[in-house]
Amino acid sequence: MKVGEIFTAERIVMGGTGFRYAPVRLTGEVALLSSETIELEPGKCGAPEIQRFTFQCLRPGKAEIQFARFRSFEMDTVIFEEVLPFTVEAATDNQLAALGGWSPFEAVSPEDRLVFRKAMEGFVGVKYEPEKVSKQIVNGVNFRFFCYGHPAVQGEHTFPAIVKIYVAPGGEAHITEIQRVVL
C-alpha cells in the first residue's frame, strides 16, 4: 500500500440475523472514510448483504486493521478476527500529483477553509468543522473534508463526517455529498 491509496474491505452477513461487522482496531496512519451495506438481493428478507468499508492510507509506516463480528443486542458473543498488519509506503510526488488521484489527508489551509466556507453558505441544521482535507484534480478540483458535525440540537451530539465539495474551473464551490462516518 502507498500513501494516498484508497482500499476497501468487505464482509458478508446474512440479512435479518442481526450480525454486523465493525473495525475495532485501526492503528497507524490509516483512516476509515466510509462504510455501507449492500443488499445482494434487494427486497428479499434474510438475503445475504455485503458490508463494505473504505479506508485511505495517510502516512508511511506500519498499520493494522481488525474487524469484529457482533450483534448489538448480544455484546458478550463478539468474535474478533485476526489482526491484519501491513506497511504503508511513501508515494512519489508523481503518484500524488497524477490526474484523478486523491492526495493524502493533510492540514486545512486558509485557501481550503475559504472553499469550505463558500460551499457551506446557507447550509443550516448542522455546523461542520473541517479538520483535514484531501484533494483530487479532475476537470476542476474535488475536496474531501474530514469534519466533525455539530447538529443544532440541545446537548453534545458531535459526529465525524466527510463533506465532499466540487469546484469547477473558474466556478463556484458546491457540496456534492455529506457522508456520516460510521464506526
pLDDT higher than 60, residue 112? yes
pTM for this model (two decimals): 0.54
Do residue 124 and residue 87 come from a single domain? Answer: no
Q: What residue ranges in the chain does DSSP mark as E strands?
A: 6-14, 19-27, 30-39, 48-57, 61-71, 79-80, 84-88, 106-107, 126-138, 140-151, 159-167, 173-180
Residue 100, domain member (yes or no):
no
pLDDT higher than 60, residue 178? yes
pLDDT in tens, 76-103: 889 999 999 999 888 765 555 455 678 8
Q: Collapse the DSSP code of 148 into the 3-class scheme (helix H, G, I; strand E, B; otherwise coil) and give the result.
A: strand
Do residue 43 and residue 110 come from a single domain? Answer: no
H helix runs in the chain, sequence order: 93-97, 110-120
Residue 101, domain member (yes or no):
no
Highest mean pLDDT among 76-80, 156-160, 174-178: 174-178
Overall average pLDDT of the 53-81 stretch: 88
Residue 118, domain member (yes or no):
yes
Residue 99, domain member (yes or no):
no
Do residue 42 and residue 66 come from a single domain? Answer: yes
Last residue of a domain, one of 38, 61, 91: 91
Q: How many CA atoms within 13 Å lie on the side-chain side of 101?
A: 16
Do residue 10 and residue 34 come from a single domain? Answer: yes
| Percent of the chain residues topping a pLDDT of 90 | 47
Q: Is 63 or 182 the better-scoring residue by pLDDT?
A: 63
pLDDT in tens, 15-37: 788 889 999 998 887 888 888 88
Do residue 112 and residue 80 come from a single domain? Answer: no
At residue 83, the pLDDT reads 94
Separation CA 69–CA 57 (nearest Å): 24
Do residue 142 and residue 76 come from a single domain? Answer: no
Domain containing 118 — which CATH number?
A: 3.10.450
By residue range, what is the domain housing residue 64?
A: 6-91
At residue 41, the pLDDT reads 86
* Number of domains the chain contains: 2
Residue 66 confidence class, pLDDT cut points 50, 70, 90: very high
Do residue 125 and residue 54 come from a single domain? Answer: no
